[in-house]
Amino acid sequence: MLPQCCPNYKTVHRRFQRRRQHEALRQALTDPADELREQGSIDESECFIDAVFASAKGGGQEGGKTKRGKGVKILGIVDRRGLPLSVSAHAANHHEVTLAQLSFDFYMIEAKPENLIGDRAQGSDKLDEDLRSEGIKMIAPHRSNRRRLKTHEGRRLRRYQRRRLVERFFAWIQWQRRLLIRWEYYAANFLGFVQLASIVILLRRF
Any domain includes 2: no
Any domain includes 149: yes
pTM of the model: 0.87
pLDDT of residue 199: 93
Give the whole-angstrom CA distance, residue 141 versus residue 47: 15
Any domain includes 3: no
Question: Closest by alpha carbon to 118, among 143, 95, 99, 141?
Answer: 141
Any domain includes 33: yes
pLDDT of residue 85: 93
Question: Closest by alpha carbon to 87, among 105, 112, 72?
Answer: 105
Domain holding 140, by residue range, is 9-203
pLDDT of residue 180: 87
Contact yes or no for 32/199 (Cβ under 8 A): yes
pLDDT of residue 155: 59
pLDDT of residue 183: 86
In order along its 206 residues, the chain shows pLDDT tens digits of 557 777 887 888 888 888 888 888 888 999 999 999 999 999 888 999 999 998 888 777 677 777 777 888 999 999 999 999 999 998 888 888 888 888 888 888 888 898 898 888 777 778 888 888 888 888 877 666 666 656 555 556 677 778 889 999 999 998 888 888 888 888 888 999 999 999 999 999 87
The structural domain count of the chain equals: 1
Give the whole-angstrom CA distance, residue 194 versus residue 169: 11
DSSP bridge partners of 36: none
Could you count the other beta carbons within 10 Å of the beta carbon of residue 24? Answer: 15
pLDDT of residue 157: 67
Q: What is the CATH number of the domain that holds 64?
A: 3.30.420.10
Contact yes or no for 86/68 (Cβ under 8 A): no
Any domain includes 21: yes
Any domain includes 155: yes
Any domain includes 47: yes
The secondary element (H helix, E strand) that includes residue 77 is: strand 69-78
Any domain includes 1: no
